[in-house]
Amino acid sequence: MSSRILPSLAALLFAATPFTAKPQTPPAPGRGIWFWQSPNSPFGSDAIVGNAAREDATLTQLKAWKITTLYGSYPASTSTIAIRAWNRKLTQAGITSLLLLSETAYLDPATYPHLDAHIRRSFLDFNANASPEERFAGLALDIEPHIDPTWKTAAPFERRAVLQRLLQLHQHIRSLIPAPTQFEATLPTWYSHLGGSIGWTNALDRDTWFTALAASCDRLSIMAFELNSSAAVLSHSEEELALLHGHGRIALRANLTQEWPNTTAFWTATNTIETQTHTPIDIQSFAILAQDEATSQQKQ
């Protein structure tokens, strides 16, 4: 792995500024959904925002799915005016809008000036010049170090160092958007495993990391993907839900024929998981689920 992404773990642990903020109270529960730009899909944010008819159809779908939080990623080509108008529609529909960031490069502290400028321009300045109904309620972060090709060849201690940088990134962003601004993020189900692919020193090392992460975020979505039963999802998510001290919630991906056989199975699992955890899920993603449901309707 690049040395820019993988510093020594010791240097990170001792150089880090202590993070002393108290954990925030998690937002009121309600289903969330990722709303990605998707150039090849009619259901991506880039195909919807700015098109009044598609926006209205999307809102109808979100309400049908009982979505109350939307994590939105918008291409630079989408005008500020269009995003403000879209946020206003979401607010009027009772849906909270968060701006979604997903650049893995931000794990490198050398990129923080660029990150800070992006947050200032796209979030802080955007909100400062918008009406209350047009503002983003917070930021959502989807940074997944394990999808970087270099992760596969990294040693366990190197992966542990990357997770320290991931924690520091969350803490840095929290310092830019202090509470009550919402801040949400994602995790896979397996970061907590001891003796696995991540070189946790011991259970205390792992537990301390998760506690600090929970303190920096209002809510973390545990991505229970590539599973196809509610029992498997609950089993794989149980450990991290406990480690996040009430700040975690399960995320599912529809992905029909690959993870769930049909939409009925997906929604049945969703209801079971929400009943068992007493917490609504997050869904990956609007484009995937909308396409899946459209395909299912065509087959009927």
Q: What is the CB neighbour count within 10 angstroms for residue 220?
A: 27
Phi first, then psi: give them for residue 142, nearest 5 degrees: -125, 80
The number of angstroms, rounded, from the C-alpha of 227 to the middle of its chain's C-alpha atoms is 18
- 8 A C-beta contact, residue 35 and residue 45: yes
Residue 1 maps to a domain: no
Residue 2 maps to a domain: no
Domain count, the chain: 1
pLDDT of residue 28: 45
pLDDT of residue 300: 66
Residue 4 maps to a domain: no
- 8 A C-beta contact, residue 179 and residue 138: no
Three-state helix/strand/coil letters over the chain: CCCCCCCCHHHHHHHCCCCCCCCCCCCCCCEEEEECCCCCCCCCHHHHCCCHHHHHHHHHHHHHCCEEEEEECCCCCCCHHHHHHHHHHHHHCCCEEEEEECCHHHHCHHHHHHHHHHHHHHHHHHHHCCCHHHCCCEEEECCCHHHCHHHHHCCHHHHHHHHHHHHHHHHHHHHHCCCCCEEEEEEECCCCCCCCCCCCCCHHHHHHHHHHHHHHCCEEEEECCCCCCHHHHHHHHHHHHHHCCCCEEEEEECCECCCECCHHHHHHHHHHHHHHHCCCCEEECHHHHHHHHHHHHHHC
pLDDT of residue 295: 85
Residue 212 maps to a domain: yes
How far apart are alpha carbons 238 and 78 in whole angstroms? Answer: 39
Nearest of 64, 60, 58 to residue 36 by alpha carbon: 58
Phi first, then psi: give them for residue 219, nearest 5 degrees: -155, 145
Distances (CA, A) of 56 to 26, 81, 300: 29, 17, 25
The set of residues, in sequence order, having a beta carbon less than 8 Å from that of 93 and lying 6+ positions away, is 59, 62, 63
CATH number (domain holding residue 275):
3.20.20.80
158, 161, 163, 169 alpha-carbon torsion, rounded to 10°: -140
- 8 A C-beta contact, residue 205 and residue 164: no
Residue 262 maps to a domain: yes
Phi first, then psi: give them for residue 222, nearest 5 degrees: -90, 110
Residue 237 maps to a domain: yes
Written as six digits, the tokens of 141 are 């972060």
Q: What is the CB neighbour count within 10 angstroms for residue 89?
A: 19
Q: What is the mean pLDDT of each run of 10 residues along the chain (300 residues)?
A: 46 36 46 96 98 98 97 97 98 97 96 98 98 98 95 97 98 96 97 97 98 97 96 98 96 90 94 95 97 83
Owning domain of residue 246: 9-20+29-299
How far apart are alpha carbons 82 and 139 in whole angstroms? Answer: 19
Give the up-direction half-sphere exposure of residue 53: CA atoms within 13 A in the CB hemisphere: 1
pLDDT of residue 214: 97
